Amino acid sequence: MSKTTASPPHIALLPSAGMGHLPPFLRLASMLSSRSCTVTLITASPSVSAAESSHISFFLSQHPQVKHIEFQVLPCKPSSNPTTDDPFFLQFEASNRSVHHLYPSLASASPPLSAIFSDFAVASSIAPVAADLGIPNYIISTTSCKFFCLMAYLPVLLSDTLCFSSSLSEVNIPGITPLPLPSIPPPFKNPSHLFTSLIATNAQALSKAKGILMNTFDDFEPETLAAINSGRVLDNLPPILPIGPLETFEPKKEQDQSYLPWLDSQPAESVVYVSFGSRTAMSSAQITELSKGLERSGYRFLWEE
């Protein structure tokens, strides 16, 4: 009797706007492709930034075997979102309104899709599409596990008008250490803010996912992963699957790692890591003042630019 060989899985990946979201998806796409999976990358058009467009183009040029689907996001009227003019928040909202147009492309995918890996920011809109197609959907969170807990628990927090009160010093989420109030994103303190409503809406759809993939690992966030997977944070979440650290898909470059011996020699939890991400623009004067403040603080710090 001859043995039948199972076809490799076909995974569709749907990132959302922002350079904090895109690279982890591309790294995962590269990893899956290198393991004989058929991969389809789905991107919104138009993109928000030139950096995203060039990053996608470079990735596809390096991975010609990856299929690519572009879907048009429906334009929105800025006046309909009076709480923000942030182009990334507006793109999140527009993508959510547009994802249902992917139905024909996903339904006709060849070979048929085995799973969809979609961004947290489109969890609520991709869920009914995946359910109608009978395709398991996995949510990818590009944040730390602790911040994911904050997003997942946000609908509960918003139901308490005092949870973000300035009279409080911290925000309490079951199972994890309290979060200092100044560390909470300012929009979260305004329930009507577009970003806040999007996070809360998508958080309520997490229970419909097959699982949640995170670019983290057990040794990095052991307590938080244990708390969320034991149901102490919320009891209706699917399993959190740590899949990190994801390696870069870009050609390997010689990197300066001279800081590692210094970092390894410091006491545990004594170094401040400074990184402002891809969207913060500071003047030379601001950078100078910030560096002076860090030096005068007396804390050890590692600054990534």
Give whole-number Cα distances, 290 to 185, 265, 282, in Å: 20, 25, 10
Of 10, 55, 63, 119, the catalytic one is 119
Residue 304 backbone phi and psi in degrees, to 5: -100, 130
Closest CA to 128 of 156, 96, 152: 96
| Cα–Cα distance, 222 to 216 (Å, whole number) | 10
| Residue 21 known to be catalytic | yes
The answer to whether residues 77 and 50 touch, using CB atoms and an 8 Å cutoff, is no
| Cα–Cα distance, 287 to 289 (Å, whole number) | 5
| Residue 235 known to be catalytic | no
Coil, strand or helix: which one is 227? helix
Cβ count near 127 (within 10 Å)? 22
The answer to whether residues 275 and 245 touch, using CB atoms and an 8 Å cutoff, is no
Distance of CA 156 to the CA centre of its chain: 21
Contacts of 79 (CB under 8 A, 6+ apart): none
The answer to whether residues 173 and 148 touch, using CB atoms and an 8 Å cutoff, is no
The answer to whether residues 166 and 99 touch, using CB atoms and an 8 Å cutoff, is no
Residue corresponding to tokens 């048009």:
72
Q: How many residues does this entry show for the chain?
A: 305
Of 10, 21, 55, 193, the catalytic one is 21
Catalytic residues: 21, 119
